[in-house]
Structure 1
């Protein structure tokens, strides 16, 4: 699940602790968990704030969401991106997952070392 948080022409990105790259906030669904609840849990865990889900932006997969793990396992992920609003502006980042956050415009996105799959998500969010 992926959270797209928008403020006018800016989007909230998080620099991930594991890769150092910029991406959107999100994560996996725990067993028995509903997708919307999973996303709200991930936002609270990573950013320390509550969120409201507005609508689905889209579902994404394909080559840009593939990964090869050190043990050789090759997997392809699928994520559903939701447009969200946040309940508060004061963040309490989980430093095990998020190094920093930043509001960026689509024009500024290209200047950051980011996961390429989020380009399509953010462009779809403004349509």
Structure 2
């Protein structure tokens, strides 16, 4: 989770910089806005899951946060990038990496939860 937060933050920062550029076409503008919202949610979910594990030892809550982030939260960005045929390498890589970080963290937290129940 600690590795996922800076990676998602970097992707979000890149999207924000692109949004701030003048003369952006409307198709790309809509994609960037959707991806910014997705990354905002992903980052919040990562932070929530990390807090659930580190501070509260609420492993089941953390796994729920991680599943949402790896599916529901990043999916709108993935879908709009695909449907609008956006070929931005940084966004494409970010969209591929987020689910990997999330699912890897999910596996670890799920094992922590399982070992706690033994």
Q: Choose 1 or 2 for highest CA Rg.
A: 2
Greater helix fraction, Structure 1 or Structure 2: 2
TM-score, normalization by structure 1? 0.23
Greater strand fraction, Structure 1 or Structure 2: 1
TM-score, normalization by structure 2? 0.24
